[in-house]
Amino acid sequence: MKPRDESAGIKLVATNKKAFHDYFISDKVEAGIVLAGTEVKSLREGGCNLKDSYARVSPAGNMELLNFHISPYARGNRFNPDPTRTRRLLLHRREIERLASRVKEKGFTLVALRVYFKEGRAKLELGLAKGKDQADRRQDIKERDSNREVRRMVKLKNR
């Protein structure tokens, strides 16, 4: 059996760069999104914003995505859904229970990391995240700068 390429059939729509800056991401989970027809068309055009979106477990036991903005479809009609409505996420019951127990721990939250189409279906990558403080952010910036400097020196040396 041939190994499957993870990036095959994936069309990236949007990423949440702010999440990687503000949080330590410890675990990632792929979930399906329940969308209306015009929302899918708008996503295919890249009309979404993940900036402040997060997930939670609803009282009914379902996973919900909040603050995920999908722009109204330009050629849609007056029945376009609300751009920031709460959307249901499709996960197995065990995954929901596992994530819910981890979120109950102090400081953890579920943050939306990326939206993409995989084999024609809209998918969302959720990250189990713990917030960074100011010192952690400064440390990340120092590491990034030093890595950039090392790459620059290696590049100059190889010329």
Domain boundaries, the chain: 10-131
Segment 5-24, tens digit of pLDDT = 566 678 889 999 888 888 88
Residue-wise pLDDT tens for the chain (159 aa)?
Answer: 444 556 667 888 999 988 888 888 888 999 999 988 888 888 988 888 998 899 999 989 899 999 999 988 888 777 788 888 899 999 999 999 999 988 887 778 999 999 999 988 999 999 998 887 777 778 878 888 888 888 888 888 887
Residue ranges of alpha helices (H) inside the chain are 17-22, 37-44, 93-103, 134-157
CATH of domain 10-131: 2.40.280.10
pTM here is 0.78
Residue 116 · residue 13 · CB < 8 Å: yes
Give the tokens for residue 150.
């090392």
Residue 26 · residue 129 · CB < 8 Å: yes
